[in-house]
Amino acid sequence: EAVGPQEYTALKLKVLEWAPEAKKAVADKLPQGADAFFVPATLRPETMYGQNCCFVGPKITYGVYKVSEKEYYIITERAARNMAYQGVFPVNGVYEKVAEVTGADCVGTLVNAPLSIHTEGIRILPMDSVLPTKGTGVVTCVPSDSPDDFATITDLAKKAEYYGIKKEWAELEIIPIIDTPSYGNLTAPFLVKKLKIASPKDTKQLEEAKELAYKEGYYQGTMCYGPFTGEKVEDAKPKVRQQLLDSGGAFAYSE
């Protein structure tokens, strides 16, 4: 765990189509024409091209917070409280909750993810290891570069029926984004295989894989997708982040 404050990039994933239970709990309570956004917090904005689903904790209760008449964010109450002091909502220190929904009820919702190659939208899917006490409680999935994400999406596809999801929701293409000298251009799948990680429950090996992937990707990685192809990850990371902020597809969030 880092000592200083974590500088996250909070992405705005706009809801395109609600899962039935979430529609009842959320959509039916919003004004006509309003947009709702799932807001994952990430430390790896340079990987956002590869988002292929977005995770919520199935047992976590999320709030739906009003940003304006037209915009609502789906995040944990803890994150809303923090954001209220970071200029995210109209009045400093104030956050207005208009509805609540469990992660489980959101599963299957279709969202648009900024920069993702999957322009047709990606699905909200369950991840048991999402912590309610970190970030926004929403985690966007980049299986090429996050071992946790790859292990989870693999498990979801394998046991789609058990999880009550459509298999194809967990089978969107995984593309190379960062090339590394040690692990090739699909770092997370490579490390998951190498460390013989069989499921998201192999937490000890996943912790090790996460360390290795992060160090190699950040210090040795070169972009192999997007406008900064050929640049070092260290250099590309702030540029991709700035593009996301400038486009309105994301905002800064720290804790």
DSSP class of residue 53? E
The token duo for 47 is: 């990987």
Q: Is 218 in the site for ligand A2H (CB under 6 A)?
A: no
Given the DSSP bridges, would you call strands 61-68 and 110-112 parallel, antiparallel or unpaired? Answer: unpaired
The binder of ligand A2H chosen from 27, 36, 39, 44 (CB under 6 A): 44
The binder of ligand A2H chosen from 25, 36, 47, 99 (CB under 6 A): 47
Given the DSSP bridges, would you call strands 61-68 and 178-179 parallel, antiparallel or unpaired? Answer: unpaired
Q: Which residue has the tokens 């540029």?
A: 239
The token duo for 10 is: 């909070």
Q: Is 94 in the site for ligand A2H (CB under 6 A)?
A: no
User: Rounded to an integer, what distance in angstroms lies between the CA atom of residue 39 and that of residue 161?
Assistant: 27
Residues binding ligand A2H: number (CB under 6 A): 21
| Alpha helices (runs of H) in the chain, residue ranges in sequence order | 20-25, 77-84, 103-106, 147-158, 160-163, 187-194, 203-215, 233-247
User: Which residues of 69-161 form beta strands (DSSP E)?
Assistant: 71-75, 97-102, 110-112, 122-126, 138-141
Q: Is 114 in the site for ligand A2H (CB under 6 A)?
A: no
Q: Is 46 in the site for ligand A2H (CB under 6 A)?
A: no
Closer to ligand A2H by CB, 41 or 67: give it: 41
Least gap, CB of 175 to ligand A2H (angstroms): 12
Closer to ligand A2H by CB, 42 or 109: give it: 42
Nearest 5°: phi and psi at 202? Answer: -80, 65
Q: Is 139 in the site for ligand A2H (CB under 6 A)?
A: yes
The binder of ligand A2H chosen from 41, 54, 124, 156 (CB under 6 A): 41
Least gap, CB of 6 to ligand A2H (angstroms): 5
The binder of ligand A2H chosen from 24, 34, 86, 214 (CB under 6 A): 214
User: Rounded to an integer, what distance in angstroms lies between the CA atom of residue 27 and that of residue 206?
Assistant: 36
User: Rounded to an integer, what distance in angstroms lies between the CA atom of residue 213 and that of residue 192?
Assistant: 10
Closer to ligand A2H by CB, 27 or 170: give it: 170
Least gap, CB of 195 to ligand A2H (angstroms): 15
Q: Is 43 in the site for ligand A2H (CB under 6 A)?
A: yes
Number of neighbouring beta carbons within 10 Å of residue 28: 10
Residues that bind ligand A2H (CB under 6 A): 2, 6, 41-44, 47, 130-131, 134-135, 137, 139-142, 145-146, 149, 210, 214
